[in-house]
Amino acid sequence: MDQTRAPIFEALQQTKSNRVVPFDVPGHKRGKGNKELTNFLGEQCMSVDVNSMKPLDNLCHPVSVIKEAEELAAEAFGAKQVFFMVNGTTSAVQSMILSVCKQGDKIIMPRNVHRSVINALILCGAIPVYVNPEVNHELGISLGMSMAKVEKAILDNKDAKAIFVNNPTYYGICSNLKAITELAHQYGMVVLADEAHGTHFYFGDDMPISAMAAGADMSSVSMHKSGGSLTQSSFLLVGERMNPGHIRQVINLMQTTSASYLLLSSLDISRKNLALYGKEIFARVVQMANYARAEINKIGDYYAYSRELLNGDSIYDFDMTKLSVHTLNVGLAGIEVYDILRDEYDIQIELGDIGNILAYLSVGDRPRDLERLVSALSEIRRRYKRARTGMLSQEYITPLLVLPPEEAFYAPKVSLLIEDTLGCICTEYVMCYPPGIPILAPGERITSEILEYIQYAKSKGCFLTGTEDLQVARLNVTKGV
Amino acid sequence: MDLWFTEWHTPNVRFSIRVDKQLFSGQSEFQRIDVFESREFGRILILDGYLMLTEKDEFIYHEMMVHVPMAVHPTAKKVLIIGAGDGGVVRELTRYDTVEWIDLVEIDELVTKVCKEFLPQTSCALDDERVHAHYEDGLKFIRHCEEEYDLILVDSTDPFGPGEGLFTREFYGNCYKALKEDGIMVNQNESPFYNNDAVAMQNAHKRIKESFPISRVYQAHIPTYPSGHWLFGFASKKYHPIRDFKAEEWKQRKIQTRYYNTQLHIGAFALPNYVEARLKNVE
């Protein structure tokens, strides 16, 4: 196929040049009805914010330009079928799970998943079988799943419908996806991958293996992260063994019927860009990340890690575009460095957690901006360095799952002050955002370790989310337990 | 012939110089570089469409950047200059025989090459044996220096484009670290007059104030810069620009200057009320 084509983009241009008089939605009528918004976003942008119509196809039932665009994307990603998603990668993750699991089905997954994964379990009533990820105690980050634990989980739960794998984690760490896939397939399980942070695996050289290349059955890919499309746009990739028709039906259960053509065309154009130039783009990103790592490691105390961590199992591979830096030896929590960078140096990074920061690098970065980041880190160390005493290093807390997430979420509940919830079963989430990986998820027992962690994260300035109480002072727990 | 160079000082104010002929135009990795010959101002250097210097008034800027700190810290021996690939600051500095070592860090080697060829008036001292040129990002260069310099002169372009890293807190903090315990930093501090420039001036002052115990601002009038009213920052770990001013010592050196003198040194730190107010606002 001709990857220089972008059918949705081309159809939009054609439609625009036809100067059709709009007596349909959206009511802003190419921006004329909302001057302030048009001044802000630009006429060009408003003029292509249009509704589904014959020449532009329909996302819920594509037969022309969207179908062609999906076929081009499928070829570019080596998938049997690609679905364009406009409700975020969250909707892709949920569609994957809802298309293979129903009430009571088991799904094997690591616990360090994004909240959207557990949300899907609340929606469909599937039961998680958690594989505890390995933990690097020095860095305080959760890693991938070890093969031995995956194998045990599969053998202990041969009736499980699917296995879910992060490829990679937020920090860039990959499990042995190919081996996991082969084993899961032997036992008739479907393999689902969360590649929210892995778009570039499909295009760059010397990258960790992609889900489709590893033979996985479905993958959710955040094109809007390393792929360059607009926020909220995403791809759901489908492998050879699946029935795309059924998956489309599941997607249509929850997807908008007014899909934004701004998002769709951004996916189309970004796919074209990646197919044509992805290799060079990501070579440049890796080169910048490697440079920044070397410079940061020269400062002292900071540790910007990379492939030297590989251990053939729970760190089977590492995504070199990720600039993750361990900060505890400077005497600062990652979230503290994150805050100082923004408040005092006007530098916004992707996340800071208890022990690490993550700077997200992309094709849009310039070497001189990296110099600012490195210099600011050097200055922060000079000004703030202190002993590491009393610093919690973020260790993975093994969850005690008492009830399936769906049952807990809908159970009769009471709201208690967090400090009074020891031993209760939580019915909602508590997480730091980012990364959005739950500390507590519905159905889990609240332990003193978890309460201590929440207290510490709060004191360091982490942005806690997930609870009904926006102050995160109270927690919903099941009644009478 | 009616050929004009125009710079937009604000979206509503334009400043134009009649150009006699274009001497050079080229694009480096970082910016577009142009040199024009003009009747009124002599040769002029333009970077990315912004006027950097003219032969007629560059002496004001360069004298004020160098002689003010040198009259406060006459024993300065080791000096770091950031930016200034045109050589004007180097020219003034090499007039002090007590200065032993000058590191010149310019991100864009082509600027220096072009100035050596077309602007000999400013670039004349670039080949002085005390000058050691480094073509790299100033922010990167200074990261590795600790208590090395007596004087740091920041001759930056504007806070956008290749010079933007030189208006950041991380840069000023690194300058502090690179100076000896009695070191001084002088920087080009933008203009207080037009709003956008004034915001840049306030940001720079705020960031310097956060990094240095002593931080004062002084002024000069430079006809070809927006509004003609231009500011410099004087930041130091120990010396006050007026209390530690060694006027007699400086006079004995008998350095001939066209703008700077020892009375003007003191006067330059007396700022108009609206400028003081804008600076106070961010302190």
Could you read off the pLDDT of B127-176 as tens digits, one per residue? 999 999 999 999 999 998 999 999 999 999 888 877 888 999 999 999 99
Omega before A168 within 30 of 0, i.e. cis: yes
Looking at residue B35, its amino acid is V
Tokens of B111: 């600027």
Q: H-helix or E-strand containing B65?
A: helix B58-72
Q: Sketch the domain layout of chain B as residue ranges.
A: 4-54, 58-280
Residues of A with CB under 8 A from a CB of B: 295, 344-346, 367-368, 371-372, 374-376, 378-379, 382-383
Across A412-439, average pLDDT: 91
Q: Token pair of B195, please? A: 């709003």
Q: Which of A377, A368, A364 is nearest to A330 (CA)?
A: A377
Diameter of chain A by CA atoms? 69
Q: Which residues of B touch A374 (CB under 8 A)?
A: 140, 143
CA distance A351 to A329: 18
Phi, psi of B72 (to 5 degrees): -95, -35
- List A425's β-bridge partners, or say none: A445
Burial class for A390, CB neighbours closer than 10 Å (0-12, 13-18, 19+): exposed
Half-sphere exposure (Cβ direction) of A93: Cα atoms closer than 13 Å: 26
Smallest Cα distance from A372 to chain B, Å: 7
Q: What is the pTM of this model?
A: 0.88
| Percent residues over pLDDT 90 in chain A | 85
Q: How many CB atoms lie within 10 A of CB A387?
A: 8
B/e letters for A297-314, b = 16+ CB within 10 Å, e = fewer, are: eebebbbbbbeebeeebb
> Distances from the Cα of A85 to the Cαs of A253, A276, A439, in angstroms?
13, 22, 28
Domains of chain A: 7-275 (3.40.640.10), 279-384 (3.90.1150.10), 405-478 (3.90.105.10)
Which one of A371, A374, A381 makes the best mutation probe of the B interface by having the most chain B beta carbons within 10 Å?
A: A371
Could you tell me if A351 and A357 are in contact, meaning their C-beta atoms sit under 8 angstroms apart? yes
- Per-residue pLDDT, averaged over A328-355, amounts to 93
**What residues form DSSP beta bridges with A174?**
A317
| Beta carbons within 8 Å of A54's beta carbon, 6+ residues apart | none
Instruction: Report percent pLDDT > 70 for chain A.
Output: 99
A273-316 pLDDT, tens digit per residue, is 999 999 999 999 999 999 999 999 999 999 999 999 999 999 99
CATH T-level assignment (fold) for domain B58-280: Rossmann fold (3.40.50)
What confidence score (pLDDT) does residue B159 get? 81
Cis omega (within 30 of 0) for bond into A367: no
* Rounded average pLDDT over A238-255: 96
Q: Using the beta-carbon criterion (under 8 Å), do B169 and A376 form an inter-chain contact?
A: yes
Q: What is the pLDDT of residue A481?
A: 52
Q: How many CB atoms lie within 10 A of CB A465?
A: 16
- Whether residue A345 and residue B170 make contact (CB cut-off 8 A), yes or no, is yes
The whole-number pLDDT of residue A134 equals 87
Give residues with Cβ within 8 angstroms of B199, minimum separation 6.
Answer: none
pLDDT in tens, B227-277: 999 999 999 999 999 999 999 999 999 999 999 999 999 999 999 999 999
Tell me the nearest-neighbour CA distance from B170 into chain A, angstroms.
5
Q: Which two tokens stand for residue A334?
A: 């990652």
State the catalytic residue, choosing from B86, B155, B158, B197. Answer: B155
In this prediction the ipTM stands at 0.85
Confidence of residue A67 (pLDDT cuts 50, 70, 90): very high
Question: Is the CB of residue B68 less than 8 Å from the CB of residue B265?
Answer: yes
Say which of A346, A375, A382 has its CB closest to residue B139: A375
Query: Rg of the Cα trace of chain A?
Result: 23
The answer, for B145 touching chain A at a CB cutoff of 8 Å, is no
Residue A120's pLDDT is what?
96
Amino acid at B7: E
3-state secondary structure (DSSP) of residue A87 = coil
User: Domain B4-54 adopts which CATH fold?
Assistant: Spermidine Synthase; Chain: A, domain 2 (2.30.140)
Burial of A369 (0-12, 13-18, 19+ CB in 10 A): middle
Q: Taking a C-beta distance cutoff of 8 angstroms, is the pair A466, A428 a contact?
A: yes
Residue B148 CB neighbour total at 10 angstroms: 17
Closest CA to A119 of A414, A433, A438: A438
Q: Is B108 a catalytic residue?
A: no
Q: What is the mean pLDDT of chain B?
A: 95
Model pLDDT, residue A111: 87
Residue type, A10: E
Round to whole Å and give the CA distance between A375 and A362: 19
pLDDT tens-digit profile of B176-227? 999 999 999 999 999 999 999 999 999 999 999 999 999 999 999 999 999 9
**B residues 44-63 near A, CB within 8 Å?**
none
- CA–CA distance, B27 with B33 (Å, rounded to integer): 6
Cα distances (Å, whole numbers) of residue A368 to A13, A300, A480, B107, B136 = 36, 21, 58, 10, 10
Using the Cα atoms of residue B92, residue B225, residue B229 and residue B162 in order, give the sign of their dihedral.
negative
**pLDDT given at position A96:** 98
Q: How far apart are CA A99 and CA B122, in angstroms?
A: 72
Find the mean pLDDT for residues B18-27: 97
List Cα–Cα distances, A186 to A159, A216, A312, A318, in angstroms. 12, 13, 22, 26
Q: Binning pLDDT at 50, 70 and 90, where does residue A227 land?
A: very high
DSSP string of A385-429, one letter each residue:
----TTPPP-PPPPP-B-S-HHHHHHS-EEEEEGGG-TTPBB-S-
Interface test with B, best of A372, A377, A381, A384 (most B CBs within 10 A): A372
Residues 147 to 186 of B: which have CB under 8 A from any A CB?
A: 162, 164-165, 168-171, 173-174, 177
Question: Which of B143, B172, B202 to probe the A interface (max A CBs under 10 A)?
Answer: B143
pLDDT in tens, A89-109: 999 999 999 999 999 999 999
